Amino acid sequence: MLTIYGVYRSRASRNYWMAEELGLEYKSVPVIQAGELENPLASGARLNTLSPEFRAVNPMGLIPSIDDDGFLMNESLAINLYLARKHGGPLSGQTAIEDGQIAMWTLWAATEVEPHTVQVVRVYDRKQENTDAGKATIDVSCRSLKWSFAMLENHLAGSSHLVGDRFTVADINICEVLRYVQTEKAVFDSHPNIKSWMARCQSRPGFRRMWETRAKEAA
């Protein structure tokens, strides 16, 4: 059975969504960030990224990780690519070209987009969105996304999805990375193709199941 390590309010959400789309039976192990605890190594502390039990799964102490019948793997976006490759179907690439496109979009999200979007969500996590420093961080991050959003907007003008004109793992990976800036409505209002694509992705039953479970999780 697939075991996913990480709370839903983390990058593990991508893997939970992927598992739901694939209809997989899986076990969730809610590992939290060590920084949320005063003493993460104290006896009786909640399972966290510094817990020896979790470090045995991922020595880097980062969530998410998976254990797929004894195969250990880290890195949320790579995990989704692995699950798509293993289970096949329409979520995976059907040709070498589609495989390349899925990898291209995923690496683009990791290198060109997420470094900026994650800064925005961290401002909200720290409840600093109404402070001068928080507003400045959000502004800089959104301006840094200008060319990436323009490129994606143009691509979606001629296609309903990122690869093969159908929903694939690439859509999950990029949609989840962009979700971090969904609080900035003006950004999406000025990019209607991205906005409608995000709405299509997030209306899927797999996303809704993941999101409903996430909503029940303690913040």
Q: Which pLDDT does position 192 carry in this prediction?
A: 98
**Count of domains observed in the chain:** 2
| Beta partners for residue 5, in sequence order | 29, 65
What pLDDT does residue 218 have?
Answer: 80
82 and 123 in a common domain: no
Angular region, 164: left φ>0, alpha ψ -120 to 50, beta rest: left
Residue 101 to residue 94: CA distance in whole angstroms: 11
Same domain, 143 and 108: yes
pLDDT at 78: 99
Same domain as 76, residue 50: yes
Identify whether residues 100 and 191 lie together within a single domain.
yes
Residue 213 belongs to some domain of the structure: no
Q: Is residue 218 part of a domain?
A: no
Would 59 be classed as within a structural domain? yes
Q: 167-206: string of b/e by CB count within 10 Å (b at 16+)?
A: bbbbbbbbbbbbbbbbebeebbeebebbbebbeebbebeb
**Do residues 150 and 111 both lie within one domain?**
yes
The Cα 163–Cα 84 span in angstroms is 14
Residue 203 sits in the same domain as residue 184: yes
198 and 102 belong to one structural domain: yes
pLDDT (0 to 100) of residue 150: 98
Angstrom distance (rounded) from CA 49 to CA 12:
13
Asked, for residue 216, whether it belongs to a domain, the answer is: no
Task: State phi, psi for 95 to the nearest 5 degrees.
Answer: -140, 170
Q: What are the tens digits of pLDDT across the range 178-188?
A: 999 999 999 99
Range of the domain at 83: 2-87
What is the pTM for the complete model shown? 0.96
Residue 217 covered by a domain: no
In a domain, 134, yes or no: yes
- Please tell me whether residues 70 and 111 are part of one structural domain: no
**Residue 71: strand pairing partners:** 68
Percent of all residues in the chain with a pLDDT value above 70, rounded to a whole number: 100
Question: Average pLDDT of 120-142?
Answer: 97
Tell me how far the alpha carbon of residue 159 is from its chain's centroid: 22
- Output the DSSP codes for 146-196: HHHHHHHHHHHTS-SSSBTTB--HHHHHHHHHHHTTTT-HHHHHT-HHHHH
> What DSSP element (H or E) covers 3?
strand 2-5
Residues 32 and 94: beta-carbon distance below 8 Å:
no
Decide: 119 and 141 in contact? Cβ < 8 Å.
yes
Among 65, 87, 109, residue at a domain's last position: 87
Q: Among 30, 60, 87, give the residue marking a domain's end.
A: 87
Q: What is the CATH number of the domain that holds 183?
A: 1.20.1050.10
pLDDT digits (tens, 9 = 90+) for 25-84: 999 999 999 999 999 999 999 999 999 999 999 999 999 999 999 999 999 999 999 999
Q: Identify whether 215 is part of a domain.
A: no
Instruction: At 4, give phi and psi (nearest 5°).
Output: -110, 120
Mean pLDDT of the 170-195 span: 98
Domain-embedded: residue 219:
no
Mean predicted confidence (pLDDT) in 2-22: 99
Asked if pLDDT for residue 219 goes beyond 80, the answer is no
Read off the pLDDT of each residue in 168-180 and give the average, rounded to a whole number: 99
Q: Are residues 58 and 103 in the same domain?
A: no
Indicate whether 128 and 189 sit together in one domain.
Answer: yes
Q: Within 13 Å of residue 184, how many CA atoms lie on the same side as its CB?
A: 27
Q: Which of 66, 87, 108 is the last residue of a domain?
A: 87
